[in-house]
Amino acid sequence: MKRCVRCVLPETVPGIAFDDNGVCSFCADYRAETRLDPAELDALAAQAKSKGREYDCIVPLSGGRDSSFVLHAAKTRLNLNVLAVNYDHEFRNPDAVANMERACRALGVEFVSVRSRRDIAGKILRCRIRAAESRGMHGLSGAMCIACSYGYRSVVYRLAEKRSVPLILWGSSQAEASEHMTRKAFKAFSRRHPNAYRTARMKIYKRLASLALFLQRVEFHVPGNSMFRKERPALRNADIVEAHYYDYMPWDPREIESVITRELGWRRPSGHVSSWRTDCILHPIVNFAYFKLFGCSRNGFAFVNMINSGKMSRDEALAQEEEMGRAFEDDRAVRAVLEKDVGLSAREVDRVFAAHERQEKDA
Ligand SMILES: [Zn+2]
């Protein structure tokens, strides 16, 4: 299989193009990260402290590597009185939960985890998968992160408002931001695979999914946001500042992992489905679906930035992709998560896989 000579994306990614040297169009579009002045982050921290509230800062925590490091930095480097907030999206890797508890204990930080009283994230997920079953892996991957995308923002904003916390320090990094690339690939994919049919059953589940999403917005309403609009909640409170730690400070995965392992007793979550370790047990399903659709994982798109910015070697990325590709040749582990953890029936899972086979044949 032909791959980009710089990153690891293969020729099977819809819409990808290669120049004469074998460099892909995603690498050609790569722009270096912008970095803000670290002194500005110190100023934000000083400003938050000066308010003298119960907590200076909320750090949203997933149990993953990057947010654990931000928690450590907020407490030890910025010297803030921190509240750690986790959204329990119902599919957390137990190892990630243990990581969060250990980190908060080690730092003496209060830890709050919020879960839907109605287990709404699982309901949204099942309805969305059933509503898109004729779209195979495309429908499956599209259903995965919707509930969390609203949920994790809403619980953080709600707690910041309720407890008057003046600063929110996020742990996401520009280096891993790759939605603009996957959006491009899906656009090209959809041109090749026009609309799939919709059965009466699928139409009912589409309605139920909308209802479940509405109930989520009611349960986790963020002040100033409409419950009738389907979009990510925004923070509408001039008294609270949001900042992204890695916009100011270097994001160095090796350094990050070494610090949190040493200081917080952090451990890599164990592999669930494939060797890719993650704080969410659904993420490997996303990777699996991407492999079926594009011939590479979801992570493969994030590797474009990481390789181009020198944070990861191409060999390292290629080894991870190949290992995952081998693991995904066997689909039993993915089917097991969909049945046991997500709660679909074996027949429902079969229908999603059969739709994928059909799409492949039609293409
Ligand atoms: Zn490339």
User: In 3-state terms, what secondary structure has residue 244?
Assistant: strand
Sign for the CA dihedral angle at 337, 338, 343, 346 comes to: negative
* CB 137, CB 289: distance < 8 Å: yes
356 CA to middle of ligand 1, Å? Answer: 26
Residue 252 one-letter amino acid: D
290 CA to middle of ligand 1, Å? Answer: 17
Is the pTM higher than 0.75? The answer reads yes
The alpha-carbon radius of gyration of the chain (Å, integer) is 21
Tokens at residue 281, please? 């047990």
β 57-60/82-88 pair status: parallel
Query: How confident is the prediction along the chain (363 residues), in pLDDT tens digits per residue?
Result: 899 999 999 999 999 999 999 999 999 999 988 899 999 999 999 999 999 999 999 999 998 899 999 999 999 999 999 999 999 999 999 999 999 999 999 999 999 999 999 999 999 999 999 999 999 999 999 999 999 999 999 999 999 999 999 999 999 888 778 999 999 999 999 888 876 788 999 999 999 999 999 999 999 999 999 988 888 999 999 999 999 999 999 998 889 999 999 999 999 887 766 666 788 999 999 999 999 999 999 999 999 999 999 989 999 999 999 999 999 999 999 999 999 999 999 999 999 999 999 988 887
Please, which residues bridge with residue 114 across strands? 87
Read off the DSSP letter of residue 224. T
Q: How far apart are CA 140 and CA 100, in angstroms?
A: 29
Tracing tokens 């979801």 back to the chain, one arrives at 298
187 CA to middle of ligand 1, Å? Answer: 18
98 CA to middle of ligand 1, Å? Answer: 36
* CB 334, CB 284: distance < 8 Å: yes
Ordered by start, the domain boundaries in the chain are: 35-293+332-362
48 CA to middle of ligand 1, Å? Answer: 41
**Would you state the CATH architecture of domain 35-293+332-362?**
3-Layer(aba) Sandwich (3.40)
8 CA to middle of ligand 1, Å? Answer: 6
321 CA to middle of ligand 1, Å? Answer: 14
141 CA to middle of ligand 1, Å? Answer: 22
287 CA to middle of ligand 1, Å? Answer: 18
* CB 292, CB 363: distance < 8 Å: no
183 CA to middle of ligand 1, Å? Answer: 16
Sign for the CA dihedral angle at 226, 230, 233, 234 comes to: negative
Residues 6+ apart with CB under 8 A from 207: none
300 CA to middle of ligand 1, Å? Answer: 10
